[in-house]
Amino acid sequence: MMSAFRQQLPALTGGFDQCIEFGIDSRTRQAFWLRRQAQSRPWQNALSRRVTVWASQADVGQSELLQDSDTQFSRLELPVHWPFEQYNSSSGSFVCSENDSLRGRLFTVGGSAQWQLRASSPVPAETLTWPSGGLRCQPTQWLGDVDVAGTSLSGLFVGTRIQFWGRLAPFGMALLSAPRLGGDPRVQLTAIGQFAGRAGALSERLNGAVGILRVADETYHFDRWWPAGTVAPSRLDAYRWMATLTNAKYRLELVADGGNPRITPWQGLVDTTPEGLRHLLRLTTYAALHVRLFARGSQDPLQEWRSDTSLLMTLAGDTQVLGRGPGAAA
């Protein structure tokens, strides 16, 4: 679906734009995760771009992650026609994302990666925006092949296209996407939470969360960025996120648990913010998720769902000195 959309982020504050495609084959427990990231630092015109791809075979405990980066002298602009985007780097790496396909190759010092996937989306994309950024998502199925440094995947993958952007990167962040809640392909959830202070600090209430829930033909936008004082604040650590999302009529409670990182496949990688901070991003496609939908003011859930194949990404505020390189121990 072509979406006419353009937003230019101010050069004075810098900004970031991330596009993520991921897919899970629950039958073979194979998964891939691809991220295209662009960001500019405050007061600078240099635009850094990075592509990261991860492939996981959970049953055999094998996974590989590679990334390639480049720097251009231009301002950060979000894609005019999402999800169409083409990325080319000086290394020869490229990514081409279109409505019906996703293909690319990476050439890095750690090895090479390539992917060729056909894409189909049964429903159009949904978008939420707030003063400093926005979120867009679209449930997508992928059919094809992915190879990352010898970890080879092939099959039908169920997942989501996700884009989120902003002017300033948060200190902590959680991103969650469940393409088949309760095993039902008609029920999907994508949500993001941002934290103004370290997880577990006294500033826990200085955070917000928004999300998009689809249930068959009905879509719920949970767009109250700052919940009322009666709503419990989000809780975040490296492998779990608990949050309450609200709108004018409904309340959504979610608990995403990534489990023991020695058992559940997790991947860690060193990331940088537009402000130059370095922190550890963690991700898994096997988070257990429990979601309950309520009418506002009620304690009796209207519906509830569970899933054990959900994408969970966390920045838990651990910005200590981290090792160099694209991968880090989870």
Q: What is the DSSP string of 121-154?
A: -SS--EEEEETTEEEEEEEEEEEEEEEETTEEEE
Cα separation, 85 vs 312, whole angstroms: 24
What are the pLDDT tens digits along the chain (330 aa)?
333 333 444 444 567 888 999 999 999 999 999 999 887 766 666 678 889 999 999 988 899 999 998 876 555 555 556 677 887 888 889 999 999 999 999 999 999 999 999 999 989 999 998 777 889 999 999 999 999 999 999 999 999 999 988 876 667 789 999 999 999 999 999 999 887 655 444 345 446 788 999 999 999 999 876 555 445 667 888 899 999 999 999 999 999 999 998 889 999 998 876 666 778 899 999 999 999 999 998 999 999 999 999 999 998 765 543 333 344 444
Beta-bridge mates of residue 45: none
Question: Is the pTM here over 0.85, yes or no?
Answer: yes
pLDDT, residue 3, reads 36
Q: What 3-state DSSP class applies to 284?
A: strand
Q: What pLDDT, on the 0 to 100 scale, is given for residue 74? A: 54
Q: How far apart are CA 302 and CA 256, in angstroms?
A: 19
Q: What is the pLDDT of residue 240?
A: 93
CB 208 within 8 A of CB 236: no
Residue 184: what pLDDT? 94
Tokens of 234: 């989000």
Pairwise CA distance, residues 259 & 268, whole Å = 15
Residues 134 and 117: beta-carbon distance below 8 Å: no
What was the pLDDT predicted at 208? 76
Other Cβ atoms less than 10 A from the Cβ of 63: the count is 19
Class in CATH terms, 168-322: mainly beta
State which H helix or E strand residue 227 sits in: none
Residue 251's alpha-carbon distances to 175, 229, 284, 291, in angstroms, are 18, 14, 26, 11
- Helix (H) or strand (E) segment spanning residue 55: strand 46-57
What ranges do the domains of the chain cover?
168-322
Dihedral of alpha carbons 46, 36, 78, 14, sign: negative
Q: Do 5 and 134 meet the contact criterion of CB atoms below 8 Å apart?
A: no
